[in-house]
Amino acid sequence: MCHVCSISVKALISSQTFILKKEKNETGNHLLVPAAANMAADTDNSTKYFVREIEKNDGTVLKMKQCYVGDVGCVVWDAAIVLAKYLETKQFYDPSSGVNVWAGKRVVELGSGTGLVGLMAATLGAEVTVTDLEDLQTLLRLNIQENQALLSSGSVTAKVLKWGDDMSAFLPAPHYVLMADCLYYEQSIVPLVESLKVLSGPETCIICCYEQRTEGVNPKVERHFFELLQQNFSCEEIPSDKQDPEFSSPDIHILHIRREV
């Protein structure tokens, strides 16, 4: 799937290109493929929103409102699902053995869109700030309200952030910065990297998940991002066997990024 600035979300809905289910290919790997089974209508706002349900490992369900019409931030994309499910893998969260990396950690999500990734972290016990532009604040707050019952230990707050602007409201540096599918606008790459520099302290881990795309300007955008990033950061790619065993795809990458000291 491609993020295209001028794409019509209504057209995406009709083609169902972003509604996903798990399906194995001939090699036995799970892929994210089109399906309509897990999309539910929002009866309260049926003309504005539809709901995507994401089941957590404990059986509870995150219910994410998405907009019928809007920019790329108003729907749940593949990389957000892959990253959200990665956050609850056993290396981070395993109640049976008492492991919970997220408990009490300060987390900032960049380019939150619907807020899925940040909400997942909050349900696992993190103190999360989800951020995006002004026009996505209503959707973020709706989804926070919709999933309030799952926030028994963590918390989540929505704030406006335009990359490159003043970051003082998000300091001191968080323990984690989360970002899913933020590499799509050429003009946003420089301010994004500058924002990462400001947000990154000695202990900060940036977890970046992105879908590698081969069409249009996407390869150039990705190349520019990593060229700038390597000037100040080190990157570690997470192998598929460390990701969620069901929600992963060969063209979706997860990176741990740390500021070099």
| Model pLDDT for residues 76-112, shown as the tens digit of each residue | 999 999 999 999 999 999 999 999 999 999 999 999 9
The reply to whether 65 falls in a domain is yes
250 located within any domain: yes
For residue 2, being part of any structural domain is answered with no
- CATH number, domain with residue 155: 3.40.50.150
Query: Contact, 179 vs 205, CB < 8 A?
Result: no
Instruction: Write out pLDDT tens, residues 35-70.
Output: 333 455 454 555 689 999 999 999 999 999 999 887
- Alpha carbon distance, N-terminus to C-terminus of the chain: 36
Does 87 map to a domain?
yes
- From 246, 244, 236, select the one nearest 89 (Cα to Cα): 244
Give domain status of residue 41, yes or no.
no
pTM, 2 dp: 0.84
Examine residue 244 and state whether it is found in any structural domain, yes or no.
yes
Nearest residue to 136 via CA among 189, 201, 71, 181: 71
Look at residue 38 and tell me if it is in a domain. no
- For the four alpha carbons of 145, 246, 23 and 239, in that order, the dihedral sign comes to positive
How many structural domains are present in the chain? 1
Q: What is the spatial distance between Cα 66 and Cα 87, in angstroms, rounded to a whole number?
A: 21
61-67, strands of its sheet edge to edge: 39-41, 49-55, 61-67
Largest CA distance in the chain: 51
Tally: H helices and E strands in the chain = 6, 14
Q: Which domain holds residue 194?
A: 7-33+47-259
Give me the pLDDT at residue 45, please: 57
Q: How far apart are CA 118 and CA 179, in angstroms?
A: 9
User: pLDDT tens per residue, the chain (261 residues)?
Assistant: 333 222 233 323 333 333 333 444 433 443 443 333 345 545 455 568 999 999 999 999 999 999 988 778 899 999 999 999 999 999 999 999 999 999 999 999 999 999 999 999 999 999 999 999 999 999 999 999 999 999 999 999 999 999 999 999 999 999 999 999 999 899 999 999 999 999 999 999 999 999 999 888 889 999 999 999 999 999 999 999 999 999 999 999 999 999 998
212, two tokens: 């590698």
pLDDT the model gives residue 46: 58
Q: What is the pLDDT of residue 159?
A: 98
Q: Is 195 a domain residue?
A: yes
